[in-house]
Chain A
Amino acid sequence: MFDTDNILETIHMITNEHLDIRTITMGISLYDCASPDTRDSCRKIYDKICKKAEHLVKTGDEIEKEFGIPIINKRISVTPIALISAACGEKNLTPFAVALQNAADTCGVNFIGGFTALVQKGFTPSDTALINSIPEALTATKNVCSSVNIASTRAGINMDAAAMMGKIIKQLAYNTREDNSIGCAKLVIFANAVEDNPFMAGAFCGAGEGDTMINVGVSGPGVVKSALEKCDGDLSDVADTIKKTAFKITRMGQLVASEASKRLGVPFGIVDLSLAPTPAIGDSVAHILEEMGLESCGACGTTAALALLNDAVKKGGVMASSQVGGLSGAFIPVSEDAGMIDAVNKGALTIEKLEAMTAVCSVGLDMIAIPGDTDENIISALIADEAAIGVVNSKTTAVRIIPAYNKHVGDEISFGGLLGSAPVMEINSFSPARFISRGGRIPAPIQSLKN
């Protein structure tokens, strides 16, 4: 009936290799919360979230206990606030962020995402208001996450938005300077953002989603690394080992997702098959790459190894779940991955190499600290570079960068918890100011014309 080895393998994965469900994220549409009156809209938002997500944390805890699988985070994603706030014409959207924070506190979730604007082609007045409100909104709140989509393969890159985001990130870093500019860890700039991503800080409930849904993000870099430790074969064998492991991990995600959906009476959305590292020892994506045979993450060969990993995770996971979505692949955040931090500290990993890696990983430049005096145009240009990789390769890319106020190359900033700590990295200081000041749009690439 049950194979003893299988049972012990599962227990070993959970207790020794950090196998867990990283997040159960409930997506909630706020379309019915729009109102010409800001206070009325905020009240509706608070009420709807609290009603829909009332049992989310409790149900997650119950599933965790009964199945014996750690479920690390319970979170909420909502419709991009810029779409909802358009009805009231408000200039400062901080009250909406505060309403989200209050709802998160009431429901007991540790992050709520959706203080978002989608401006890949242009700005509505509401989009502009939202972007301008980000520094104040993310300073006034603790658990609200924000994202701005500035590019897509279909629309090209909105360079006016890239220019704005450089300034906004700097302002946010200054506003939260007392806490190592932590505000910037809650802001993601996307190209090709996905609508059903359960992972923070980039989660929002997209325009085409239903009223509520359950999306689950699995994890398990430690399990993959440990499986590779036993694999002596060539790289085809390595890919096969990763596929088998990803399959098992994803089956667990699918089980939790369907169970949560059933118990909460909310439709199941997707399972996101991502390898999401944490700062804990033995939970690192960089260490998987090193296990494949690299002296250090960042060495030549890193991009190829990551491409293999990212692809094998998807191939293994896709058969294990009825609906796969989100970002699905391998994340490469620096501050949240002990192996990445080590690689940076010993000079093996640079921002340029990380940028190359983002062409083949699931997202982009993630949780990277740079000197606080970095020019805003450099940040905007870095965002544009990253967006270009996403737009041309028809993949999601993102930038979550922290110009840590008053910190310099070699300093280390610590955020604590899952956000970890980041060494301040050197960034190319030659000026792209003239390029950024031109503004306008970089046209959509030829591969966007698929019809």
Chain B
Amino acid sequence: MKAVITVIGKDTVGIIAKISELCAKVNVNIVDITQKVMDDMFVMIMITDVSAMNEKFTDFIDKMDLLGKEMGLVIHTMHEDLFNAMHKI
């Protein structure tokens, strides 16, 4: 199963580092990253493989939310099926 992590917020040092660190800690593999800074807004979409993760997916979502709050970012961690359902026939 894959999860899509989107990160939106003011650009600052170490966003990708912190998020990657959290992924590595729970054995989540990063498959793809698209990232842009528009003016000083940071936008990133990260596709991750969570099939071998060593904790519950919902706990991972909680940790990402918490990290987002700490860094002043909005982080959405969502199951890939939502995007497949809405945008693929």
Pair count A-B, CB < 8 A: 60
Tell me which residues from 46 to 89 in chain B have a Cβ below 8 Å from any Cβ of chain A: 47, 57-58, 61, 74, 76-83, 85-87
CA gap between A59 and B14 in the complex, in Å: 36
Does B23 lie at the interface of the complex (its beta carbon under 8 Å from any beta carbon of A)?
A: no
How distant is the Cα of A9 from the Cα of B58 in the complex, in angstroms?
23
Given A11-B6, A68-B79, also A248-B86 (CB < 8 A): yes
Q: Which of A7, A67, A254 contacts B45 (CB 8 A)?
A: A7
Hey, which chain B residues are within 8 Å of A10, CB to CB?
Answer: 82-83, 86-87
Across-interface contacts of B82 in A (CB, < 8 A): 10, 67-69, 252, 255
State the CA gap A11–B82 with chains docked (Å). Answer: 11
B58 touching A66, Cβ below 8 Å: yes
Max chain B Cβ within 10 angstroms of own Cβ: one of A2, A4, A10, A62 = A2
A332 CA / B18 CA spacing, docked (Å): 47
The residue of chain B having its C-beta at the shortest distance from the C-beta of A3 within the complex is: B87
- Is A353 interfacial (CB 8 A cutoff)? no
**Across the interface, which residues of A come within 8 angstroms of B45, CB to CB?**
2, 4, 7-8
Number of interface residues of A (CB under 8 A): 23
Interface residues on B, range: 20 to 34
User: Is B28 interfacial (CB 8 A cutoff)?
Assistant: no
Which A residues lie within 8 Å of B57 (CB)?
66
Interface membership of B21, Cβ < 8 A: no
Contact between chains at A2 and B85 (CB < 8 Å): no
Q: Are B81 and A7 in contact (CB under 8 A)?
A: no
CB distance from A337 to the nearest CB of B (A): 25
A408, CB-defined interface residue at 8 Å: no
The reply to whether B61 and A252 contact each other, CB–CB distance below 8 Å, is no
Which chain A residue lies CB-closest to B74?
Answer: A15
Q: With A65-B61, A67-B81, A68-B76 given, is the CB distance from A4 to B34 under 8 Å?
A: yes
Report the minimal beta-carbon distance from A3 to chain B, rounded to whole angstroms: 7
Residues of A near B87 (CB, < 8 A) are 3, 6, 9-10, 248
Cβ contact of B85, chosen from A15, A66, A251, cutoff 8 A: A251
The answer, yes or no, to whether A449 is at the interface (CB within 8 Å) is: no
B76 contacts A11, C-beta separation under 8 Å = yes
B58 A62 Cβ-Cβ under 8 A: yes
Tell me if A1 is interfacial: C-beta within 8 Å of chain B: yes
Residue interface mask A69-94, B partner, CB < 8 A = 1: 10000000000000000000000000
Q: Measuring CB to CB, which residues of chain A are less than 8 angstroms from any residue of chain B?
A: 1-4, 6-11, 15, 62, 65-69, 248, 251-252, 254-255, 259
Question: Known contacts A1-B47, A3-B87, A68-B76; can you find 11 more A-B pairs with CB under 8 A?
Answer: A2-B83, A7-B83, A9-B87, A10-B83, A10-B86, A11-B76, A65-B61, A67-B82, A68-B78, A252-B86, A255-B85
